[in-house]
């Protein structure tokens, strides 16, 4: 049997299920105890600094429907009512009303009503970089600014994450020293073959974005080809995959594979490659075109991408791309996201008998890896193969040789690399090697990844993932 409590506020009454009040409101857990405990139905009149009739209706409707429906000008009244009735779930639901335009108003309310603080700071933490760019951020006190800057570190940590050739997504579990399954990309029908050949993945905070499956539609003698790429994201907070706006591209007919790389630049995703120069905004779920890269970058990506693990990376506010100049010399070219401009290329360092294979970066530095060419004789003899690691100085445009990595035999050369925080990871055939940047010190070994690594990256996950 359902029991109701009749609540009188001003000249209006509300019939609310007793079980809802007891479950959601600490105020009614006290008010409905004692002599009222056995009463099936009764009337309670709220007195003192009681909620307004409008705010009370919003809250009681929310308890029934779990939907908070109100106008922005009524937020303060509803917050006061939720504080009076001690209903914590209302504070959590208010995050749906927060935007990058009104978050400071909620922050002011949180100073008066502490129960709202967790909701406000969770919103700010999830949109950390976008909040820092808001004009309102500059008006805050230094204490509040410092606290907001530390939000991304609270209750979350960054771990290394790999996507295998079978599209299983694994993360490294520190305590168990093992690779654990996080999710499986193919659960959202991203083709294994097309992802391995031309797909890409990138992490933005706690979300993993995967751009894969190419559906090619063309006819004989047609000069161009339309490509529809499946774009999906995985949320480590909710353990859910969702569809994102697909990236539609038109490529030259001869280019039967859409080759590109995804890059996270200030919490926006850039897709760059042959016929692709687009930017994706996760909050808006849409792709927009950006400045077209120089023509010289295109042939390099197309003709040599099969030798490159990552030809595009981001660092600070810039994106760096491996390319060739008009003399076919290998260069590094920079894209300035604040100006949407491409800058003059920088020649790569001369390295005898070597080819550049990988471009890596963290928040402050760009690293360039090459691999010495190995003759058939040395392969059979099992001689060492040398890989050099250069650090790029964006201010001076110069390269500094930081370290040389040795491999025993050609077959064991690490084909995949990534940087997570201050660690550089190299995925060999038989093990995973970890170095501490910038001096490549403290070499350590992690267990071998069960499958061939197709993509490696750092992703933000809840701390309890790792413990």
Q: What is the pLDDT of residues 17-38, one digit of tens each?
A: 888 888 889 888 887 775 544 4
Q: How many domains does the chain have?
A: 3
At residue 79 the predicted structure's pLDDT band, cuts being 50, 70 and 90, is: very high
Residues 344 and 398 in one domain: yes
More confident residue, 214 or 192: 192
Domain termination residue (choose one: 78, 97, 116): 97
Note whether 384 and 285 are same-domain residues. Answer: yes
27 shares a domain with 164? no
Q: In the chain, what percentage of residues exceed pLDDT 70?
A: 73
- Give the CATH number, domain containing residue 27: 3.30.710.10
195 and 211 belong to one structural domain: yes
Residue 304's pLDDT is 42
Average per-residue pLDDT in the chain? 76
Is residue 364 within 8 Å of 416, Cβ to Cβ?
A: no
Distance, in Å, from the CA atom of 209 to the CA atom of 83, rounded to the nearest integer, reads 39
Contact 166, 192 (CB under 8 A): yes
- Is the pLDDT at 165 greater than 80? The verdict is no
For 260-291, the pLDDT digits (tens) are: 678 888 888 998 776 678 899 887 888 998 88
DSSP-assigned states of every residue in 307-328? G-SBSEEEETTEEEEEEE-TT-
Examine the fold and report which residue of 154, 179, 194 is the final residue of a domain before the chain moves on.
154
How far apart CA 217 and CA 224 sit, in angstroms, is 10
| Domain shared by 322 and 448, yes or no | yes
Q: Which position has the higher pLDDT, 191 or 131?
A: 131
Q: Which of the listed residues 66, 97, 128 is the one where a domain comes to its end?
A: 97
202 forms bridges with which residues in the sheet?
209
d(CA 197, CA 445): 29
- The helix (run of H) or strand (run of E) holding residue 384 is strand 384-393
The residue among 255 and 171 whose pLDDT is bigger is 171
Residues 160 and 150 grouped into a single domain: no
Same domain as 169, residue 110: no
Specify whether 373 is located in the same domain as 290.
Answer: yes
- String of DSSP letters for 394-461: TTTTEEEEEEEEEEESSTT---EEEEETTEEEEE-SS-EEEEETTTTEEEEEEPPPSS-EEEEEEEEE
* Residues 148 and 162 reside in one and the same domain: no
Q: Are residues 331 and 298 in the same domain?
A: yes
**54 and 176 share one domain:** no
Model pLDDT, residue 384: 62
How far apart, in whole angstroms, are the C-alpha atoms of residue 381 and residue 159? 38
Give the predicted TM-score (pTM) of the model. 0.64
Task: Name the percent of the chain lying above pLDDT 90.
Answer: 10
* Domain range enclosing 87: 1-97
Same domain, 34 and 139: no
Please state which of the ranges 239-243, 371-375, 424-428 shows the lowest mean pLDDT.
371-375
């Amino acid at each position: 049997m359902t029991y109701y409590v009749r609540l009188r506020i001003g000249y209006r009454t509300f019939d609310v299920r007793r079980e809802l009040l007891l479950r959601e409101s600490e105020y009614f857990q006290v008010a409905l105890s004692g002599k009222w405990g056995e009463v099936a139905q009764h009337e309670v009149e709220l007195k003192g600094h009681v909620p307004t009739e409008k705010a009370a209706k919003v809250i009681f409707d929310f308890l029934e429907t779990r939907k908070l429906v109100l106008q922005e000008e009524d937020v303060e009244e509803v917050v006061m009512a939720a504080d009076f009735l001690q209903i914590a779930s209302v504070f959590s639901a208010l995050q749906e009303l927060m935007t990058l335009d009104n978050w400071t108003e909620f922050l002011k309310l949180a100073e008066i009503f502490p129960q709202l603080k967790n909701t406000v700071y969770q919103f700010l933490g999830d949109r950390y970089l976008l909040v820092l760019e808001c004009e309102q951020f500059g008006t805050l006190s230094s204490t509040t600014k410092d606290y907001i800057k530390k939000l991304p570190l609270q209750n979350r940590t960054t771990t290394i994450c790999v996507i295998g050739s079978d599209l299983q997504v694994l993360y490294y579990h520190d305590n168990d020293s093992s690779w654990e399954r996080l999710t499986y990309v193919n659960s959202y029908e991203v083709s294994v073959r097309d992802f391995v050949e031309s797909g890409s993945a990138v992490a933005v905070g706690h979300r993993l974005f995967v751009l894969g499956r190419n559906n090619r539609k063309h006819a004989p003698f047609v000069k161009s080809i339309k490509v529809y790429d499946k774009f999906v994201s995985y949320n480590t907070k909710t353990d859910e995959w969702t569809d994102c706006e697909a990236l539609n591209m038109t490529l030259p007919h001869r280019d039967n594979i859409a080759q590109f790389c995804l890059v996270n630049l200030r919490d926006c995703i850039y897709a760059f490659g042959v016929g692709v120069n687009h930017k994706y905004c996760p909050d808006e779920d849409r792709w927009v075109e950006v400045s077209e890269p120089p023509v010289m970058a295109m042939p390099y990506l197309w003709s040599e991408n099969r030798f490159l693990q990552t030809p595009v990376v981001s660092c600070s506010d810039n994106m760096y791309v491996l390319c060739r100049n008009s003399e076919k010399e290998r260069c590094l070219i920079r894209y300035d996201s604040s100006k949407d401009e491409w800058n003059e290329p920088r020649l790569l360092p001369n390295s005898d008998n070597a080819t550049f294979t990988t471009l890596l970066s963290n928040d402050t530095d760009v690293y360039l890896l090459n691999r010495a060419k190995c003759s058939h004789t040395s392969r059979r003899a099992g001689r060492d193969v040398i890989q050099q690691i250069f650090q790029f100085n964006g201010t001076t445009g110069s390269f500094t040789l930081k370290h040389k990595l040795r491999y025993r035999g050609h077959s064991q050369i690490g084909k995949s690399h990534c940087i997570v925080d201050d660690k550089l990871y190299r995925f060999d055939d038989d093990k995973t090697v970890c170095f501490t940047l910038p001096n490549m010190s403290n070499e350590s070994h992690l267990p071998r990844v069960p499958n061939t690594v197709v993509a490696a990256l750092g992703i933000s996950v809840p701390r309890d993932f790792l413990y």
